[in-house]
Amino acid sequence: MLKPLALSLALVLAGCASDTPDSSLPEGVAYLGSNLSQQVEVTIPYEKFELDNGLTLILHKDSSDPLVHVDVTYHVGSAREELGKSGFAHFFEHMMFQGSENVADEQHFQLVTESGGTLNGTTNSDRTNYFETVPANQLEKMLWLEADRMGFLLPAVTEEAFEVQRATVKNERGQRVDNQPYGRLNELVSQALYPKGHPYSWPVIGWMEELDNGNVDDLRAFFKRWYGPNNATLTIGGDFDRDQVLQWVVKYFGGLPRGPEVAPLAKAPASLAADRYLTLEDKVHLPLIYLSFPTVYARHQDEAALDLLAEILGGGKTSIFYKNLVKSGLAVQAGVGHPCRELACEFTMYALANPGKMPQLAEIVKVIRDSVDEFERRGVLADDLKKAQVGHEATTIFGLQSVRGKVSSLAHNQTFFGEPDLLQPDLERYRNVTAEDVMRVFNTYIKDKHAVIMSVVPQGQVALAAAPANYTAPGPVPKDQLSHADKVAQAKIEDDFDRSQVPGSGPAPQLKVPGLWQQRLANGIEVIGTLSDETPTTEIMIALDGGQRLTSAAEAGLAQLTATMMAESTESYSTEEIALELEKLGSTISVSASGYRTYVNVSALTANLDATLALLQERLFKPAFSDADFQRVKVQQLQGLQHQANDPGWLANTAWSELLYGDNSAGRPVGGTLESVQALTLEQVKAFYKEQFRAGNASIVTVSNLGQDELLPKLQWLGQWQGEGSRWAPLMAMPELAGPKIYLLDKPGAAQSVIKIGRRGVPFDALGDYFKSGLMNYPLGGAFNSRINLNLREDKGYTYGARSSFRGGPELGSFVAGASVRADATAASVKEFISEIQHFAAEGMTEQELAFMRASVTQSDALSFETPGQKARFLGKLQRYNLPKDFVEQQGTLIRNISLEELNRLAAEQLDLSRMAILVVGDKSSVEPSLRELGYDIVTLTL
C-alpha cells in the first residue's frame, strides 16, 4: 500500500542532490561514496568523506529552505565512562558550550543566537551530539565554532567553569529527576537489570556523589580520550555550496590531531536468573508497575519483530493492554515498548493503576500476565501486523519533514552502523516481519522469562507494591577508592590562518514565506492552505474559537473532557474500531482543547487522505457520547489531576493562572480541578459539543503536497456544516495585583522551588506594544544568554534555566519571569530576579543588546517556515488574528527601525514591579524564613 508513497518521497528528496560526485577534492579529504544514483523507494541523498585525521563528513544537500543544520556526533556516551566516574559524558554536553581557546565564555550561544539560529546538545548512553540550525549564510561560522571546541576546548576547562557546570548539572537532575514524579524509575530499573560495572548500569546524568568525587583533571582526561576527530561524525544538511563546504571543513577541522583509537564495545544484552523486585516510595498519587525484560541489541535480526510485538501488545486503543487495563478502568495508562540501544535492548510493560478501582500492584501484574497469556492463545492477527508495519512506515516518512530530521538519521546510522542511509533497509526489515517471527520472539524473550519488576507507590504505602523488594542496588564507588587522572595539556596545533578571527557571514538568504491560497466553503468557513511537497503528507487543522472560554470557572475541564470524548466511539464505530482503521492508514485524528480554542488536527499520508477524511467526518459529526465512555474518561481525567498535583510545575501554573485571572475561565487549568470535573455530567458534554462544534466557530488550515485544485474538493463536505458562531460571556473583574507580594504554595519535601514573577499584560498583536514588548524582553530573559539566565544559571548556579516572556492571546496577556531553582537558593533567586527586572526597567537595554536583538530576531525568520507544522502554525496565526499577508516583512521593518528609546520606554512601563506578584512553590518550612528576610508580605496559598 505504501509503495507509491515511498516512490514519490524518493523523488522529492533525491531531487535536491546532484547526480554524480565531483572528483576534484581538497587535499586531505578522501571520498568514501554516496547514494546519489541509488534507485530505491526511500532515501536521504548524501555524500560521505573522510579527512586524514579520521573525521567522517556527511553532506546532504537540500535547497528547499534557506537554512543549514550542522550536527557533530561523538561516539561517546555514558557507556564509555569508568566505574565510579559516572556523568562525565553528560557533563561535557554542558562544558562544550562554555567556550574554547578562541571562543569566549558564553560566546557560542551569543554567536549562534545573533545569527538567527538555534542550538543544543544531547547525551545518551552511546553518543553525544551537538547541533545548530542557522540561516544558510552562517554556515562557515558554525564550522569554526564546532572545530574550535573539538580541537581547542581544554583551555576553557578551568576549575571555575568546572564548578559552575557541576552546579548546573545538579540543578538539571533536581528539576528533571529528583523533583519529578517517577523521576528515578529508569535509573533504578537499569541498576537491577544490568550487573554492576555494565555500561548501562548507571544513569546518563550520573550519580551526584560520583560527580562530586571527580575533579577537573578527570574531566580534561575524559575529553582527551574520546573527543578526537576520529571518534566523530560531522553531518551537514541544507542549502550550501558543496565545494565551498569541503574547503571550509578542511580549513577548520583538517589540522586537528587524531585522538586515541576507539574500539567498538562488545554487545552486552542483560540476562536474569530470577525476577528482581524493586519498590520506590515517591511523591505520587497513582501507583505504577513497570516490567523490564532483557532482549537483544540495536539492529539485531530480532529487533524489528520485537518492536512490532510491543506495538501489538500495548500500542494504542486497539491493543490487548488497553482493553484489559485502561478500558476496564483498572489503569489510567498502560503500554508496552522495546527501547533499543547500541549494546542492549529492553522489552518494557507498564501500567499506572487507578487507585479508586485496583491500587494493589500485585493484582495489576496478574492482569498484565493474563493479557500476555491471552496474546499467546490468540496469536497475531492480520490487522495486528498491518497496523504495526504501516505505523512504522508512516513514522519514517513524517520524520523526514525537516533537514534536522534527515541529518539526525544520517548521523545516527553512520555513528553506530557505518552506513548513513538505512531508510530502505529499515523499511524492508519491518515489512518482512511475519506473524511467525512475532510469535518466535515472544517465545524466545518474553514467555516465562524473568524481568525486573518495579513498583512505585505513594509514600508510606509500601503494602501496595507487587511483591517485597528482593534486590538492593550497589552504592557509588567510595571516594577513597578512586584514582584521578594526571594533568592534560592542550596539544599544539599549527595553522596557516588566525583562528581567533570570527568568520564573517555570507549574503543574507532570501526569506521564503509560504505562498498561500484562501477560499471560503459554501457555509462561509475560511480555508487557508499552502503547498509543501517535500513529503507526500497532508496536515489539516480545524480550529474552533471558544475552548474553555465558553465555560464558567465552575465548569473548568469541560472543554477538555469533551475533546477527549471526541476520541472515543462514534455512531458507527466503537473506540477500538475507529482507532484500528486509522492505524491501518498510518493516520492520526486528534482533538484537544485550550483556553480559547478547540483544535481538530489531522495528519495523513496523502495517498490515504480520502479514507482518513471519511473517518474525520464520522468523528466530527457523529460522536456517540456513550455513558460507558464518559464514566471511564471522567475517571481518567480525575486521576490525572490527582497525579498532576504532585508536579511542582503544574502546581505553579495553576496557582499563577488563578492569581492573574481569578474566577474567569482563564484562571483555571484547562484540565479543570478535582471539584469542577467531579461535578461535570454527560449532558454538559453534549451541550458543550453543540455550542463549540459549529461552522460559525470554525476555520481551516491545510499544508499538503496537493495543490488547491486537488485538495479543496476533498473538503467540500465541511461546507454543509451548520451553526452560528458562539458568543463569549463578558469577563469578570480581575484580581488586584498590588505588589510586590510573595504568594507561597507549600510543596513539602520539594527538592527545588518553582518561582514565577509577573503581571497581567496586553493581548496579542503582531505590530503593536505586545510585539514590541517581546523585542524589549529579548535581552532580559528571552534568549539563552539573556541577563536573567546568565545570572541565575551561569553566574550563581541556582537553576538549570531561567527565562522571562510576554504571552498574549485574543483578549488577555501577561508578563512572567520564572525558573525552577535549588530549594536552598529560593530567596536568593527571588532577590536576583527582582534585581534584574528593576535594573532593566530603570536603565533599559544597551546599544549592544539592541544590535544583538535585531540580528537574532530578524535572521531567525529563515528557520520559521521549514516543516509542515511550522507552515501550519504560521497560517493559523495569520488567519486567527486577520493579519496582512506581509506581516512578517512588516515586523522585519519594525525591528530594523525601532529605537532604543521606545524599547526602554516600554521596559519602564511593562516591568513595573509594584504591579507584579511573586509566586513560590516549594517546601514552606525550609524556604519561608529566608523569604521573609526579603521584606515582602507573604500570603500562604492553598489549591
| Homologous superfamily, domain 741-865+886-941 | Metalloenzyme, LuxS/M16 peptidase-like (3.30.830.10)
Grid cell listed for 601: 488536527
Q: Which CATH code, of 3.40.50.720, 3.30.830.10, 3.40.1010.20, 3.40.640.10, is assigned to 3-253?
A: 3.30.830.10
CA distance 662 to 430: 53
CA distance 852 to 848: 6
Q: Which residue has the cell 527601525?
A: 897
Question: Crossing angle, helix 682-692 and helix 627-644, to 10 degrees?
Answer: 90
Q: How many CB atoms lie within 10 A of CB 846?
A: 12
CATH 3.30.830.10 maps onto the chain at 3-253, 276-464, 517-720, 741-865+886-941
The distance from CA 82 to its chain's CA centroid, rounded to whole angstroms, is: 30
Alpha-carbon separation of residue 66 from 12, 515, 856 (angstroms): 17, 15, 16
In this prediction, residue 22 carries a pLDDT of: 55
Q: Which phi-psi region, left, alpha or beta, contains residue 753 (left: φ > 0; alpha: ψ -120 to 50)?
A: beta
DSSP 170-231: HHHHIIIIITSTTTTHHHHHHHHHS-TT-TTSS-TT--HHHHHH--HHHHHHHHHHH-SGGG
Residue 228: closest CA among 196, 262, 274: 262
Is 480 strand, coil or helix? Answer: helix
Q: Which residue has the cell 507507590?
A: 457
Report the topology of domain 517-720: Cytochrome Bc1 Complex; Chain A, domain 1 (3.30.830)
Question: Crossing angle, helix 900-910 and helix 769-777, to 10 degrees?
Answer: 90
Q: For the full predicted model, state whether its pTM sits above 0.85.
A: yes
Q: Which residue has the cell 519535601?
A: 749
Q: Which CATH code, of 3.40.50.11310, 3.40.50.1100, 3.30.830.10, 3.30.1950.10, is assigned to 276-464?
A: 3.30.830.10
In this prediction, residue 208 carries a pLDDT of: 87
Low-confidence ranges of the chain (pLDDT < 50): 1-20
DSSP 364-398: HHHHHHHHHHHHHHH---HHHHHHHHHHHHHHHHH
CA distance 812 to 817: 17
For the chain, what is the radius of gyration of the CA atoms?
A: 28
In this prediction, residue 21 carries a pLDDT of: 52
Grid cell listed for 781: 530573559
The 10s digit of each residue's pLDDT in 28-62 is: 999 999 998 887 888 999 999 999 999 999 999 99
In the chain, % helix, strand, coil (3-state, to 5) comes to 45, 20, 35
- The per-residue b/e assignment along 126-135, b for 16 or more CB within 10 angstroms, e otherwise, is bbbbbbbbbb
Grid cell listed for 138: 552562517
